[in-house]
Structure 1
């Protein structure tokens, strides 16, 4: 069953940000916050009907508006136009609280802040659908990386096997050549010994012939 979504709001940098998420943790992750903004008092759950309606229409998506403004939350908000003059401008005075006559009836205010149950369930289902899509994308990317690693490992293993085979062949040929060289050396020594013996006999015969 889809988890019920709530609307959370914070201010980060030049923007107010809002999101429909199933928990404060999910909201912090979507905002990319490195600390718990709720514990710090920098974030809160809101039941403002306009903000709730905007976030429930796009669950799981961070909506923004220029910080300090009361405009609508959208996916692409412009920067505040008075950033350069913030220090020079006097702070706005808080608006006077409405008198009892100006205040809407409590029942009307309460009913305007209630989110339709069917719309909330639809938003929650859309949020989970978006989460499943993101998870599928992550799995797809991981599978692609795994294939790349597998191809690389296979190529490395083939190259190492080829190198080992070539090294074994080289070692075998080197041993064969060394054996042939040893045999040639032995034959050369034997031939030298035979020649020395024959030469000595012939030289002695030559000396006797000259006497």
Structure 2
């Protein structure tokens, strides 16, 4: 069975808020409050007949009015006209106004009306939950899109790094092969150079011997003459 609704009121930021809800917990959830405003004395159950009438006409819908004002609560309210003014004086004026004795309406407990209001609250609550679910789904989709972009960028970086490492390894292998060829060429050249230098020395020695022989023979011929 649907629970009877009550009207709860608080102030957050630039607005006074009011909502018809079955419990304080439900009111805090509707306001999006992260702390228990009732325990802190920042929220209360309203007994203002005008506020009650406005919230009961739209169960579960958070109604607003500029903070410190005494106007009617609406679903879409304008910001306070004087944000730079002395907020304490407004609050003091509101407190002094709230000290006026309130007229309590003697409403007949109409079970059908209570049930209708409670069902309207449940519909609004479900609508709000669906809206939150859609917003969360959109946020999750956006997070997944961003994560996919991160993954794509990371994969591209990893692929480029692997390609670089492979190219570097291929170049290193080529350098090592060239170094081996250079060393082999140097060893071959040293061997060939030693052989050729030996041959050159022998050839020069033979030239010297030959030159000495011809010089000696020439001197002998001169003596015989």
Question: What is the TM-score of this pair, normalised by structure 2?
Answer: 0.69
- Of Structure 1 and Structure 2, the greater helix share is in 2
1:155: which partner in 2? 156
Using a 3 Å threshold, how does the CA distance of structure 1 residues 139 and 8 change in structure 2: closer, same or farther?
farther
Mark the structure with the bigger radius of gyration. 2
2:220: which partner in 1? none
> What are the superposed Cα offsets for residues 158-204 of structure 1, whole Å, 9 maximum, x if unpaired?
21121122112111111111111111111121122112211221121
Distance in 2 (alpha carbons) for counterparts of 1:5 and 1:149? 48
Cα distance, 1:124 vs structure 2:
2.1
1:171: which partner in 2? 172
Using a 3 Å threshold, how does the CA distance of structure 1 residues 40 and 118 change in structure 2: closer, same or farther?
closer
Q: Is residue 53 of structure 2 the alignment partner of residue 26 of structure 1?
A: no
Using a 3 Å threshold, how does the CA distance of structure 1 residues 144 and 200 change in structure 2: closer, same or farther?
same
**Equivalence map 1:181-192=2 (5 Å):** 181-192=182-193
2:53: which partner in 1? 49
Cα distance, 1:23 vs structure 2:
3.7
Distance in 2 (alpha carbons) for counterparts of 1:166 and 1:52? 74
Distance in 2 (alpha carbons) for counterparts of 1:84 and 1:172? 78
Distance in 2 (alpha carbons) for counterparts of 1:120 and 1:154? 50
**CA-atom RMSD in angstroms:** 3.7
Unaligned 5+ runs, structure 2: 213-225
Distance in 2 (alpha carbons) for counterparts of 1:144 and 1:11? 38
Cα distance, 1:18 vs structure 2:
4.3
Question: What is the TM-score of this pair, normalised by structure 1?
Answer: 0.72
Q: Is the 8 A contact 2:59 2:118 kept in 1?
A: no
Cα distance, 1:12 vs structure 2:
2.9
1:17: which partner in 2? 17
Q: Is residue 78 of structure 2 the alignment partner of residue 77 of structure 1?
A: yes
2:146: which partner in 1? 145
2:101: which partner in 1? 97
